[in-house]
Amino acid sequence: MANHGLEFYGKIEELLMNREAGEKLWNYYLEILEREGAKRVLDIGCGSGEFCKMAQKRGIEVVGIDLSHTQVSRALKKGCNCIVKRVEEMGGNFDGAVAIFDVINYLTPTQLPPFFRAVAQLAPLFIFDINSQYGMAEVAVGALKIEKDGYFLCVESNYNRGRLITDFTLFTSTFDHLYRREDGRVTQYYHRLERVTQILPYHSVEIEPITLYNSPAPEKWLIIAKD
C-alpha cells in the first residue's frame, strides 16, 4: 500500500472497525502468545494500538510498528510503544511477532519472502492471518455506507484475479456546514495458503481456520510459525 493510501486508511480505520470481530481475533492471538510463553512481542502493522492495549493488560510487553504516521500517533496517545518503521529496519530480539487483520494481504507476492526472512531474524515465533479466497471474493466484496460523528464514508470493493481493490470516498463535515471530499484506494492480494507455508523460514507451521462473521466457510487462515 502506498504511503498516501496508508495515511488515508489511517483516517478511516476506526469508522470501518467491527469491534466484536476485532476482539475475537485479538483474543485468538493473545491465547497463542500466552500458551507459547511470549512475553515480549513485535506487533507488525500495529495500527492505532488496539491490540497493544489488550496485550499490555495481560502482561505482555508489545512494541508496535506501522508505516502510517496517523495510526502511530493514535497508538502513542493510548500509551502504546509504537514507532513508524518497516520490519526490515527493526533490530532487537522478541519472543514472538504478530501481523494481525490483513497486514500480510497488503504485501505483493514478491514482497512476501524478504518480509518473512526479516521477521524470522527478529522472533522465533510468528503468528499472522491471511484472507482465504472465500473471504476476499465473497465476504469482502460489495458496497457499504457509514455515517458517524460528522463523517460519511462510501466503500466499494471488487475482487478480480487475485486482487481485492477497495475504493473509499470520505466526506467530512466542515464548520461552514459543507463537506470536504477525499478519495482513496487500497489493494489486497490473495496469497495461496500452500505457497505461504512453503516460503516461511520456520521449522514448524500450524494452521487454524478462522470465521469471524458466521460465514459457512473460513474467512481467514491463522498461521503459527515456530522455530
What CATH number corresponds to the domain at position 99? Answer: 3.40.50.150
Closest CA to 82 of 54, 46, 118, 127: 46
The pLDDT, as a whole number, for residue 176 is 80
Instruction: Count how many residues are written for the chain.
Output: 227
Same domain, 120 and 207: yes
Taking only the tens place, the pLDDT of each residue in 92-145 is 999 999 999 999 999 999 999 999 999 999 999 999 999 999 999 999 999 999
Task: For residue 50, count other CB atoms closer than 10 A to its CB.
Answer: 22
**Dihedral angle over CA of 81, 30, 68, 154, nearest 10:** -140
**Mean pLDDT, the chain, whole residue set:** 94
Mean pLDDT to the nearest integer, 158-176: 93
The whole-angstrom separation of Cα 106 and Cα 188 is 5
Same domain, 60 and 169: no
pLDDT band at 17 (very low <50, low <70, confident <90, very high): confident
Q: Is the pLDDT of residue 5 over 60?
A: yes
Q: Is the pLDDT of residue 70 over 80?
A: yes
Same domain, 105 and 214: yes
Same domain, 103 and 211: yes
Same domain, 72 and 184: no
pTM of the model: 0.93
The whole-angstrom separation of Cα 193 and Cα 31 is 23
The domain in which residue 105 lies consists of 3-132+191-226
* Count of structural domains, the chain: 2
